[in-house]
């Protein structure tokens, strides 16, 4: 695999490697370091489920099935980004948290755009090939990677 599908999948893998999937919701009080780490661990679970679903799209038998996988992934990543954006992290993690939320939102946007781009293709094979050669989510993947590297350096995530 290359290109767009890889970059979209890589974003989910980066999340899996470094944190988790957020169920947090808005909090008015600033989270402690351990509370913030716990929220990031939740992000990991949701990211794992999203990654598994989009990976199954590579076995899709129709363009419609592939689009459904991409759309589900986009919706989940959008939700995760929304949850991350609602967190009130420790002060030293604010910028990285914002960058992570922005990267997740960009990944969701790019995934929705990729899904729309394959709508006119006639076979799943052609659609997968198109996605493999696309650089659809380079920006979102870079933002997520950069944010997770910063959070790792600050001790909020791990690289394994």
In tens digits, the chain (160 residues) has pLDDT values of: 334 554 555 455 455 444 443 444 444 699 999 999 999 999 888 888 898 888 888 899 999 999 999 999 999 999 999 999 999 999 999 999 999 999 999 999 999 999 999 999 999 999 999 998 887 778 899 999 999 999 999 999 886 5
CA dist list (Å): 111 to 65, 77, 149, 156, 160: 14, 9, 23, 27, 25
DSSP string, 19-31: ---------SSPP
Indicate the number of domains in the chain: 1
How many alpha carbons lie under 13 Å from residue 12 in its C-beta half-sphere? 25
Task: State the residue range of the domain holding 71.
Answer: 3-153
Is residue 71 in some structural domain?
yes
Is residue 160 in some structural domain?
no
Helix, strand or coil, per DSSP, at residue 119: coil
| Residues contacting 3, CB < 8 A, separation 6+ | 131, 132, 133, 134, 135, 136
Is residue 7 in some structural domain?
yes
Is residue 159 in some structural domain?
no
């Amino acid at each position: 695999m290359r290109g767009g599908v890889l970059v979209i999948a890589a974003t989910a893998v980066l999340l899996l490697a470094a944190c988790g999937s957020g169920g947090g919701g808005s909090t008015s009080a600033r989270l402690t370091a351990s509370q913030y780490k716990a929220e990031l661990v939740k992000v990991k679970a949701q990211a794992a489920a999203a990654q598994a679903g989009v990976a199954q799209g590579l076995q899709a038998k129709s363009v419609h099935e592939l689009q459904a996988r991409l759309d589900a992934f986009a919706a989940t990543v959008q939700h995760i980004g929304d949850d991350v954006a609602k967190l009130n992290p420790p002060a030293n993690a604010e910028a990285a948290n914002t960058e992570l939320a922005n990267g997740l939102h960009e990944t969701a946007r790019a995934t929705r755009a990729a899904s729309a781009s394959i709508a006119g293709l006639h076979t799943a094979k052609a659609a997968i090939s198109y996605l493999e050669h696309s650089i659809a989510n380079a920006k979102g993947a870079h933002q997520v990677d950069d944010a997770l590297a910063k959070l790792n350096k600050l001790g909020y995530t791990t690289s394994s």
